[in-house]
Amino acid sequence: MVEEVVVIGSGPAGLTAAIYLARELLNPLVITGDFGGQPTLTEIIENYPGFPNGVAGAELVERMKKQAERFGARFLNDKVTKVDFSKTPFQIFVGNELIEAKSVIIATGSKPRLLGVEGESKFFGRGVSTCATCDAPLFANKIVAVVGGGDTAVQDALILTKFAKKVYLIHRRNELRASKVEQQKLFANQKIEVIWDSVVEKIIGDKKVEKIQVKNLKTNETKEIACDGLFLAIGEIPNSEIFTEIEKDEAGYIKTTEEVKTNIKGVFAAGDVVDRRYRQVITACASGAKAALEAISFLKESGAAGI
């Protein structure tokens, strides 16, 4: 059996694509990977429309899955290990199992670049965050720290000052990589204190983050800083390694035209594996919808059954 369309990935982009495809009676197969993607690591999402009191990330993606299943989407809880897009039908391998498809939507997302220090995984979602836009309101009148030195780190620090009473920006060098305009905003904000030439070595707490251990790379001096949250802004890694035939940029993000079309006709990409700028649940959903609509158009042009 050749699938009409296979969705690789089950974050907001993949699940939204599955909903649109299923409503066209295409019975899409979704190969989940790590189900739900990054939203499952977020305790509560307060900026997704329709949830005035916020919604747990895991609950949101589970609702999306049930909605897709209601219209006929099927889910394979496994990971894609290899693909061959050099011929049609496209070949997708899950271990030793071969799945063939007329069209494919890649929605494998990205993963945050982490510090790899003690306490990081323990407190992820309990003080450790990779999304200031998502989680800043949770830290009203609290003390937080941001790690990084680029535009994202500076912007995150500035966003956090709208809620937190104190923000530390910790950077391993003695100058920032952020644009001069962003730096001017940062240095003008009295809530922000920059800790230069330093790295976080350890995250400490009981049930949530309580303090961090910071080391100065020039003096080797270590100190502990009391804080309620630690935001990582040191980059993202797109989950695109297995797609060797797909054109990507220098950072590994999939290149697209008309927002979701890859260099291979019939293969589309959506969500954070494409988006290196916004990386929000709602923008991933929109991207997934666009990819599904393009896949539907492609299948119609190809004369697929039932389209």
Ordered by where they begin, the domains of the chain are 2-111+236-301 (3.50.50.60), 114-232 (3.50.50.60)
Question: What's the average model confidence in pLDDT over 165-186?
Answer: 95
Residue 120: C-alpha distances to residues 42, 232, 286 (Å): 14, 10, 31
Predicted local confidence at residue 304, as pLDDT: 59
Predicted local confidence at residue 302, as pLDDT: 84
Of 175 and 134, the one with more pLDDT: 175
Helix boundaries (H) for the chain: 12-23, 57-70, 132-135, 151-160, 180-188, 281-301
Model confidence pLDDT, tens digit, residues 248-284? 999 999 999 999 999 999 999 999 999 988 888 999 9
Q: Which residues are catalytic?
A: 131, 134-135
How far the first Cα of the chain sits from its last, in Å, is 17
Model confidence pLDDT, tens digit, residues 200-225? 999 999 999 999 999 999 999 999 99
Predicted local confidence at residue 241, as pLDDT: 96
Question: Is 70 exceeded by the pLDDT of residue 305?
Answer: no
Question: Is 90 exceeded by the pLDDT of residue 133?
Answer: no
User: Are 80 and 8 a contacting pair, CB within 8 Å?
Assistant: yes
Question: Is 70 exceeded by the pLDDT of residue 142?
Answer: yes
Residue 124 forms beta bridges with which residues?
128
Question: Is 80 exceeded by the pLDDT of residue 41?
Answer: no
Predicted local confidence at residue 123, as pLDDT: 96
Question: Is 60 exceeded by the pLDDT of residue 196?
Answer: yes
DSSP-derived pairing of the beta strands 229-232 and 128-129:
parallel
Question: What's the average model confidence in pLDDT over 8-29?
Answer: 97
Question: Is 90 exceeded by the pLDDT of residue 145?
Answer: yes
Instruction: Report percent pLDDT > 70 for the chain.
Output: 98
Predicted local confidence at residue 307, as pLDDT: 59
Question: Is 80 exceeded by the pLDDT of residue 193?
Answer: yes
Predicted local confidence at residue 149, as pLDDT: 95
Residue 38 banded pLDDT, cuts 50, 70, 90: confident
Residues whose CB is less than 8 angstroms from the CB of residue 172 and which lie 6 or more positions away in sequence, other chains included: 149, 197, 198, 199, 217
Of 44 and 94, the one with more pLDDT: 94
Predicted local confidence at residue 276, as pLDDT: 85
Mean per-residue pLDDT over the chain, rounded: 95
Predicted local confidence at residue 263, as pLDDT: 98
Q: Please tell me what DSSP assigns to residue 255.
A: P
Predicted local confidence at residue 40, as pLDDT: 84
